[in-house]
Amino acid sequence: MYILGINAYHGDAAAAIVKDGHLIAAVEEERFNRFKHSAGFPEQAIRYCLNAAGIRLEDLDHVGISRDPSAHLHKKILFAATRVASLARHQIKDRLGNAAKVRDLKDELARRFGVSKKSLRARFHNIEHHRAHLASCFFVSPFERAALLSIDGFGDFISTMWARGEGNSIEVLGQVEYPHSTGIVYTATTQFLGFPYYGDEGKVMGLAPYGQPRFIGEFRDIIRTEENGRFRLNLDYFRHHAEGVEMTWDQGSPVIGRVYSDEFTQRFGPPRTPGAVLTAREHDIAASLQLRLEEVGFHVLNHLHEQTGLTDLGLAGGVAYNSVMNGKFLLNTPFKRVFIQPAAGDSGTALGVCYQIYNGILNSKHRTVMSGAYTGPEFSNDQIRALLEQSEWPFESYTDKELTKRAAQDIAAGLVVGWFQGRMEFGPRALGNRSILVDPRRAEMREILNDRIKKREPFRPFAPSILEERVGDYFEQTHPAPTMLMVYQIKEERRKEIPAVTHVDGSGRLQTVSRELNERYYQLISDFAELTGVPVILNTSFNENEPIVCTPQEAIECFRKTKMDVLYLGNHAVRP
Ligand SMILES: [Fe+2]
């Protein structure tokens, strides 16, 4: 039985495919069409999923999308009735248009794939957005029962939903509705701080440790906690509820209109112009925002623990990309084990749709555990060799053993190493298959990476990959973080040893690497540890200022443009 899940007409469009409960493939559209966070329809991602499963569209048994235009309809109508006068006519039309597209998924698929609608025998499902997030962090988690939290900007009129998962059922225990949303506060403040692009919230998280939370009073006024784990926004600071803020994606990547209101500028002064110097004010606003998000996160989760009595937690939703907050959950709430779905944001709802159908609707007994995020395209050594033979690049080929040893030597010698192996990762983090790797002992590597390759803001930290069994030697916390979505404090005495991955506050957004999860990457870090005594490598995503590379051609092109020192593609290495 084949199930296709889709996130479409929304940021991070994606597709996933499941066969008899096994996850065959999951991938974001941006990796194919090369528009960051690509919205719209994930046609190429669907094609890849069908190819990976070796089937045609007509062979699918179920198809689902992570939107349900009829969900929470009474709330939508109520809200629209009170606000409709203030919504511009075209905005209403856009919303209706989107809802219609979601409803006409079958037509759209048939049209795009050039088949007749009649030939599609699949049953079609609309899965409410947060139900898809919740399913994505429970049905593929290692937990038989768990408390679950989905927290994001908005989806289907809801910003936050929490639940208890057990067996094949997810029982919703509470929610926070439009227009109240922590994600919206983060996005609004990110815009105000002069970071205008979709997905820039991570930059503000990186900026926060430079500041003092001297505006925490303001942010406690902006997000107010209430009884029963709920919270409300002080809507004076925002435009989305009154005027409507539309997301468009004419150019492929989503663009969100201004979310903060004039009240925001009256309180904090004029917004920062993108690219202008960052001052103490920006640092302090970022620090205050981050602290308030964490407080609200603890508030929701402590309530969720009270409701469920459970200590295992599944997390999803765009706000679950806030790895600083995630790392603190284990210290500030009773939860002991956490599963964060690697594509916690909206792309992961494609996967959630599959399992909501498989487990939640069809009540199938089989359970899958998603360990790692390696669900995308891969390329054989022969394919790569053929490509290299046609190119102008000289290359060498190694055995598996030689490969990791040579790469470890290159990294230890201070080279910038492109590392392209196996299946591409699902979600925003490169986890050792589409990565750029350097020596974390060399503080200057941050600047080298920023100047030569990544062209990104100097305040943003780089992340360490560490052998799982050595985490306790370097970090204050030891809970595994295989998908790089937790930030822990690095032990004081270790910070000087790995300065390139130690953030200004002594923290690191680590990836714990085990042999079972990624044997080749584990061996590389082991070889590096043998050479240097340090079981840590700096790992940043394989891209310049674009989506992470998907194909070897893109890797070679990025290598050429950015002047990396050496590129490993499968068992081959290119040295210019
Ligand atoms: Fe979402």
Q: For 411-460, what is each residue's pLDDT tens digit?
A: 999 999 999 999 999 999 999 999 999 999 999 999 999 988 888 889 99
* Cα 456 to ligand 1 centre (Å): 26
CB-based contact 539:501 (threshold 8 Å) = no
Dist. CA 565 → ligand 1 center (Å)? 38
Whether 250 has a pLDDT exceeding 80, the answer reads: no
Per-residue pLDDT at 252: 80
Which residue has tokens 């007409």? 9
CB 426 within 8 A of CB 26: yes
What is the structure's pLDDT at 104? 86
Instruction: Give the per-residue pLDDT at 69.
Output: 84
Separation of alpha carbons 527 and 198, rounded Å:
38
State mean pLDDT over 251-267: 90
Predicted confidence at residue 246, as pLDDT, reads 76
Give the whole-angstrom CA distance, residue 359 versus residue 22: 12
pLDDT given for residue 137 in this prediction: 98
From start to end of 454-494, where are the E strands? 463-467, 486-489
Mean pLDDT of 206-235: 97
Reported confidence tier of residue 81, pLDDT bands at 50, 70, 90: low
Percent of the chain with pLDDT over 90: 85
Q: What is the pLDDT of residue 88?
A: 43
Per-residue pLDDT band at 71 (split at 50, 70, 90): confident
Question: Mind listing the pLDDT tens digit for each residue in 128-184?
Answer: 999 999 999 999 999 999 999 999 998 988 999 999 999 999 999 999 999 999 999
- Among residues 56, 9, 50, the alpha carbon closest in space to that of 27 is found at 50
Nearest to 148 by CA among 127, 126, 175, 177: 175
pLDDT tops 80 at residue 501: yes
Q: Quote the ligand 1 centre to 301 CA distance (angstroms).
A: 18
64 in Cβ contact with 350 (< 8 Å): no
Ligand 1 centroid distance, CA of 381 (Å): 37
**Pairing, β 247-248 against β 463-467:** unpaired
Please report the pLDDT score of residue 75 as a whole number.
Answer: 64
Residue 210: its pLDDT value, please? 97
φ, ψ of residue 174 to 5 degrees: the values are -175, 165
Distance CA 91, CA 353 (A): 28
Q: Where are the alpha helices (DSSP H) in 228-279?
A: 262-268
Residue 74 has a pLDDT of 65
> Distance between CA 2 and CA 217 in Å, rounded?
52
Question: How far does the centroid of ligand 1 lie from the alpha carbon of residue 155, in Å?
Answer: 5
Length of the chain as a residue count: 576
Q: Tell me the pLDDT band of 335, cut-offs 50, 70 and 90.
A: very high
- Using the structure block, give the residue that is written with the tokens 């999860």: 517
Compute the distance from residue 305 Cα to the ligand 1 centre, in Å.
22
Q: From the CA of 274, how far away is ligand 1's center (Å)?
A: 26
Q: How far is the CA of 289 from the centre of ligand 1 (A)?
A: 20
Mean pLDDT over the full length of the chain:
93
C-alpha distance from residue 184 to each of 114, 155, 241, 251 (Å): 39, 12, 11, 22
Pairwise pLDDT comparison (400 vs 454), residue with the higher score: 400
Q: Which residues contact 464 (CB under 8 A, 6 or more apart)?
A: 440, 474, 498, 501, 508, 509, 510, 511, 536, 537, 538, 539
pLDDT at residue 85 tops 50:
no
